[in-house]
Structure formats: C-alpha cells, structure tokens
Amino acid sequence: MTRTPARRKTREDAPQDALTPPAEVPQVPAPAEGARPDQAEPHLHAALDRATMASLARFTAGLSPHAMIDAWSDWAMHLARAPGRQLELAERAQANGMKLAQYAAAQMTGKAPDKPFAPGRYDTRWTHEGWDRAPFALWQQGFLATQDWWEAATSNLRGLRKQNADRTGFTMRQLLDSVSPSNFPLGNPEIIEKTQATGGRNLLEGAAHYADDACHILAQEHRALPEEFALGKVLAATPGKVVWRNELMELIQYSPTTAEVQAEPVLIVPAWIMKYYILDLSPENSFIRWLVGQGHTVFCISWRNPGAEHAELSLEDYRTQGIMQALDVINDIVPGQKVHANGYCLGGTLLAIAAAAMARDCDDRLASVTLMAAQVDFVEAGELLLFLDESQVAFLEDLMWSQGYLDRPQMSGAFAAIRSEDLIWSRAVRRYFLGEPDLPTDVTVWVNDTTRMPARMHSEYLRGIFLENRISAGRFAVEGRVIALKDISVPVFVVGTETDHIAPWRSVYKTALFTDCDLHFLLTKGGHNGGILSEPGHRGRHYRIGHRPAGAHYRDPDTWLAAHDPVAGSWWPEWGRWLMRHSSGAVPAPGSHQGYPPLADAPGTYIHQT
C-alpha cells in the first residue's frame, strides 16, 4: 500500500520502471554521474569480459586477484632494489632466532622467562594456560616471531605505495593465521585437554557443527533467527507503527511513553548495509527505546532488503525515496516543526549529503544533524581501504552486474577477514574442535542478519564516494549541482568510537574540517557498533566531548584528543542534553498519526526480508 503525502517531492524525470524486474539477460546499470566513457553499455566483447570476471569473483568471494598480484609485485620489486632493508630483515631474523633460542634454553632449565613476543590486541587464540607450558609455548613463540618478521618485511618501504604495503602485510597475516599451531588439534593444548576430558565427544560435536555450517554455506541459506531473539518480541520490540511505506523503505513512528514530548521530532537514518535494529536491540540497550523514554517523538527508517529486481536503485533514490520522503511524511504528521536528523554509519554519510543539498536549496526543515560513526571524507577510511582500488571496484561492479546486487557473504567475508584471528580462526577452533555451539547474543543475531546492496547504488557509493572521495573534494552533485558541506548551518553533533576499524575516529573527526557550523565532537570508548551501544549503566564506559563554535579555527584530531579528558559513563545522556538545548520545549504527546493510518505494527515487514 503506497500513499502520497501532501508535500512529497519527486524528480519529474524519474524513470517509471526503476523498480521493474530485469530481463533474463543481466542488465548493465547506468553509469554513475561522472563515470568514465568505458563504463557505458558494453559491447558484446566487453560483456564477455565482465561475465568472466563475475565468474572469477564468485570463486574469490569478491576479492580481486589482480589487485593482490599488483601489490605483491610492487612490494617485491621495491624490496629487491633495497639492500639496506634486506640487511635489516636479515638482522631481524637473526635477532628473533636468538630470542627464541634463549627462551627455549630457559624453559629447558626449568626457568620461567618472560615471553619475547606478545600477540596482538585482538588475538584471543592464546588465552588458555596451556600455552605457557612446553612445547606449546615454544610453538606459539615461533609463530609470533614469524609474524613479527613478516610485519617488518611488509612495512612501508621508500617508493612503495602504502596501500600495497598494507595489502602484502594483510595477505601474509591471512596465510600465517591459516597455519597457526592453535588451529591444529595436536598443537593446541586446549583442544587436547578438552578431548581427554570428554573422551573425544567434542570432536564428534565439532564435526556435526562443521557439517551443518557446510550445508548452509553450499545452499546459501539464511539461518532463521533464534526463538529467544524473535524480532518484534525481544529485538526491535519498541512499540510503534509503520506510517509510510514505499518500494525502498518503511517509516516507523514510535509510540510516546511520556505525557509530553519535545516539539521537534527525531528522524533516525540507519545504514542499509545491515538492518536498522542495531539501534533497537534488547530493551535494556535499545537506543531508540531510550530516546523515546527521554520525551521525544521518534521516527526511524527501515530499509528494504533489495533483490535482483532492484539493481537500478541509485544513491539518489536512497536520498529522495528515503530521507526526503521521510521528512515529507514527518512534516505532515508533526506540522510546523523542524526535525532533528540522526544518521548512523552509511546512513550518516547519506544524511550529510541530504543536509548539504537542503542547505544549498534553502530547505530549512532540519533543526540539527547528528552523525554517528559516519564519514564524509574517505582518505583515511581505515582497513577497508585494503579491499578498494580501481581493480577491486571494477571487479565488484562486474559481480554485481551479473547478479544485480552485492550479496551477504561477499560483504561479511571482507569484514571478518580484517579480524580473522578472532572472527574466523578462534571461532572455528571453538566450534569445530572444542565442540562449543555459537551462543547467540542480541548483537551477534543482528550481525548475522545481513542484507544485500543494489548494484547501481553500491557502485556509485564505492566509486564516487569511497574511491574518488567526491563529497569532501567538492565534486559530489545532487540533482546536477555540486554540494558543499560548509553550507550546512544547523548545529551538528558528531560521534566517533575509539577502536572503530570501519570508520576510524580520526576520519570521522574530519567532519570538523569541512564544515563551518556549530559542532560538537564526541569520542566514546568502543568499536563501530559497541561504542554506539553505550546505554547508561554500561560498565567501563567513558567519552570525551569538545565544542567548536561556528567559524572557529580547526584543530587536528591529536591536538583535540590531548585537550579533552575522558568523562566516565555513557555518552547517550550527553547527547540527550545537547538535543534538549536545541529543542524549543515540550508539547503534549501526539495521540494520532495525523491522517496516516498505521500500515503495520513496528518493526514492520521489511525487517523480516531475507
């Protein structure tokens, strides 16, 4: 059911068949604005090339072998002409060997020396006490010594592209992790101990887990959510109604829990790479439930999970049919009030684009903008840059051209590989050798409930925003005209997280470099998801916050960090107080949906799409 609100804004030249199913032969998405001529409709020979690359991409899980070969060739040629680095590496190998020999000799004489090599901060493979005993301790140290040498060997070298150095180091970490002694039953003291204690039952249970996982992977089946984490009952259970639905999103209005609410409503724009309920998990850590309880009228977009028939959806469609459409509906339901807009991750990037375009067009419907773990500049975009260059993007474009979307495994594999020692190998040991089942939590259930990405939109995002960095470079156009972030004049609140490897906080901080408005930047403890989920009462949390008045001089992130001391506790109340300061006061809570009869109870229907 689709209705048109009174002030709905649509593009007059929008194609009428934008959401129609493609023909049997894969259709090539229209080139993104600013695309090169060779990205237009391909000749039959070019189509053959793309089909070949798409077939190869399925075999490599979407990773371009050409990019890796180029990285290794670049590294090898620069190392070959650097005798000083070769000598340095030879000396490091000798030093590591001596450290291992001294450690082994001390262990043989019954001493307990300090281990010369320590695992990385995310490496949890060595926590069992058995790794402190011979011979396991020596095997562990030998592995870490090798890892240390390769880290030095693939570090920056004069003339070598940093991205290629990082890629060679990343590849070697993956290869070394695959032969870690912790992966083998006879090399891992924890597996041996568990096998002796259970009489081998752990191995039988692990084999059953392996068979079950293999069947799901081969069949490409989406696992059903556990009953104890049912959507709408346990997760995404904040009461509300779907008040609008189109082909791209459902708009949820949450039921007020206070007699009065702030006059200005709040619109939450989540990322579409995952489902929105990361912000509405269990009742005790639901960001949306907390916000409703603070006396706000809250709306949230729930994006649909696109299929091949949505291959032509563009980034502009997500802006117009998503954010702008939601604003039109909210203006009808809460007339005469501006809107506090909050964007998370990719939703925040899209919100920044929309806010800049609205400022350019003198559309003053926003009261404030909040960006949570969202980037507007992608020069320092973290470890995801390992997977993106011209070769890699073209490789993914060919894959999406053939199937109409980027599928779940092709995205989740890249994120897991960044933390492979914990997310891949440690899990495999626990599940397949220790026989331990995966015990779901609300966060892991959400992580596994992945979505697809439309081919055209994702290509425009990867190429125009990520690879070519058009937003901060002043080359991103909306409706044919370039936007500028400095046009945004409403107050902005930016949240970064300390250990974010998807949107590193120093990259998120650069919003302050490209805007001139009143801006608060808050840095909180945690990662990309865990830092945002920081409900009041969460143990061990802290944050730092700073204020940059409109027109003030820019301070680099390290200077900012040194000038702001950590504050204990959750950052949510701090943001809540900021939101209150930029609101006009309390009004009676709305009792109806102002001409928008509910289409469904929250969390709606799109959240259940697999």
Segment 272-323, tens digit of pLDDT: 988 999 999 999 999 999 999 999 999 999 999 999 999 999 999 999 999 9
The mean predicted confidence, pLDDT, of the chain is: 88
Kindly report each contact of residues 144-151 with a partner whose C-beta sits within 8 Å and lies 24 or more positions away, as own/partner: 144/117, 144/118, 144/119, 145/96, 145/97, 145/99, 145/100, 145/116, 145/117, 146/176, 147/117, 147/173, 147/176, 148/92, 148/96, 148/117, 149/89, 149/92, 149/93, 149/96, 150/176
CA gap 397, 409 in Å, rounded: 16
User: Where do runs of H (alpha helix) occur along 449-502?
Assistant: 455-460, 470-473
In this prediction, residue 37 carries a pLDDT of 38
Same domain, 549 and 591: yes
The predicted structure's pLDDT at residue 592: 63
518 shares a domain with 564: yes
CA 169 from centre of chain: 22
Looking at 194, 219, 244, which one is the last position of a domain?
219
Are residues 119 and 88 located together in one domain of the fold? yes
Cβ contact 546:563 at 8 Å: yes
* Domain end call among 170, 194, 219: 219
CATH code at position 498: 3.40.50.1820
Does some domain include residue 556? yes
**Domain boundary residue among 170, 193, 219?**
219
Asked if 213 and 252 sit in the same domain, the reply is no
Q: pTM, whole model, 2 decimals?
A: 0.86
Same domain, 133 and 181: yes
312 and 271 fall within a common domain = yes
The pLDDT value recorded for residue 43 is 72
274, 393: one domain = yes
Active site residue 300: no
Task: Based on the fold, state whether residues 142 and 275 are members of the same structural domain.
Answer: no
* Within a domain: 39: no
Amino acid at the residue 200: G
pLDDT tens readout for residues 515-530 = 999 999 999 999 999 9
State residue 591's pLDDT score. 66
Cα–Cα distance for residue pair 441/437, rounded to 1 Å: 12
Of the candidates 215, 300, 345, 517, the residue annotated as catalytic is 345
Residues 457, 545 within the same domain: yes
pLDDT digits (tens, 9 = 90+) for 407-455: 766 666 666 666 677 778 888 999 999 999 988 899 999 988 888 999 9
Give the model's pLDDT for residue 3.
45
pLDDT at 355: 98
- Least-confidence region, from 198-202, 223-227, 363-367, 558-562: 223-227
List pLDDT tens digits, range 144-185. 999 999 999 999 899 999 889 998 998 999 899 999 999 999
Residue 13 maps to a domain: no
Do 295 and 206 belong to one domain? Answer: no
Whole-number Å distance between alpha carbons of 326 and 343: 13
> Considering Cα of 456, then 460, then 461, then 462, what sign does the dihedral take?
positive
Domain presence at residue 389: yes
- How confident is the model over 34-84, as pLDDT tens digits? 444 344 555 788 888 888 888 877 777 777 888 888 999 999 999 999 999
CA dihedral 287, 290, 291, 293 (to 10 degrees): 160
Pairing of strands 453-454, 366-372: unpaired
pLDDT at 20: 37
Structural domain boundaries enclosing 168: 68-219
Residues 308 and 263 in one domain: yes
d(CA 283, CA 290): 9
Residue 175 lies in a domain: yes
Rounded distance between C-alpha atoms, residue 8 and residue 445, angstroms? 36
The structure tokens listed for 209 are: 């887990």
Phi-psi region for residue 215, left (φ > 0), alpha (ψ -120 to 50) or beta? alpha
Same domain, 109 and 232: no
